[in-house]
Amino acid sequence: MERTPAARAFDLRVIKYLQFDGTYFKHENCLMVLMDTATSKVIAHTYQQRENYESAHQIFKEMHDGNLNPEAITIDGNTSVIRALKVVWPDIIIQRCIAHILRQGLSWLRRYPKIQVSKDLRRILLTITEVKDRERRDIFINDFEKWEEQYGQSVKALPSSHKVYGDLQRTRSLLLHALPNMFHYLDNTCIAATTNKLEGYFSRLKEIYRKHRGLSKQHRKNYFAWYINFKNGN
């Protein structure tokens, strides 16, 4: 673990559809990964203290300078990452990960919400996984717009210091901000609707990493580089 593998060469000019996400280890350091959706190869990664604008911009800028000019990228919705993307590739299509939206929204609304406004929004949220065509997309958007018309302003006026109300407001805000970028995958099947490929990648990595706990931060960084290099070679 004293050295890192030689970087694999990719023809970045032909890579057009990406997925990007980060995962934390010991709640203090984050492995960020940029994956080619078509091949499931990791074309870039970085191990930093946290996932923020600076670390995201660094990895995107390096890829841009290496002639990567993607058409679309699927991400979880981190605002700092979105900002970095727009600086490096102003015209890139940003697809919000449907799985992240569903998981986060359901967490905030809880499994058994007690107030009707939360019950109604949870019912709408659960239909995201049914959006496989434009007809289902239009139904989802229409249902949410009706909910917003009926409840939006009253939800906005609720005291955010109240845990249940604050989480309801967060769910509403999540959907309002994500909606313009939730369904690009319907217009282009090369765009991933979720970052599930990366979620699975991280899950397998962490399962193997548990056998090597105790590595220093530098050795951990090298370990991830070797793991990614090995997986890319398969």
- Residue 143 confidence (pLDDT) above 60: yes
Query: Within this chain, do residues 126 and 152 fall inside the same structural domain, yes or no?
Result: yes
What pLDDT was estimated at residue 3? 67
Domain that holds residue 17: 12-96+194-233
From 131, 50, 53, 63, select the one nearest 92 (Cα to Cα).
63
HEC per residue, 155-215 = HHCCCCCCHHHHHHHHHHHHHHHHHHHCCHHHCCCCCCCCCHHHHHHHHHHHHHHHHHCCC
Query: Within this chain, do residues 145 and 125 fall inside the same structural domain, yes or no?
Result: yes
Contact 65, 89 (CB under 8 A): no
Query: Within this chain, do residues 23 and 88 fall inside the same structural domain, yes or no?
Result: yes
42-85 pLDDT tens trace: 999 999 888 999 999 999 999 999 999 999 999 999 999 999 99
Query: How many Cβ atoms are within 10 Å of 58's Cβ, its own excluded?
Result: 16
More confident residue, 168 or 216: 168
What pLDDT was estimated at residue 210? 79
Burial of 148 (0-12, 13-18, 19+ CB in 10 A): middle
Let me know if residue 4 belongs to a domain: no
Q: Which of 154, 179, 204 is the last residue of a domain?
A: 179
At 217, the pLDDT band (50, 70, 90 cuts) reads: confident
155-188 pLDDT tens trace: 999 999 999 999 999 999 999 999 999 999 999 9
For tokens 């369904």, the residue is: 183
Query: Within this chain, do residues 85 and 201 fall inside the same structural domain, yes or no?
Result: yes
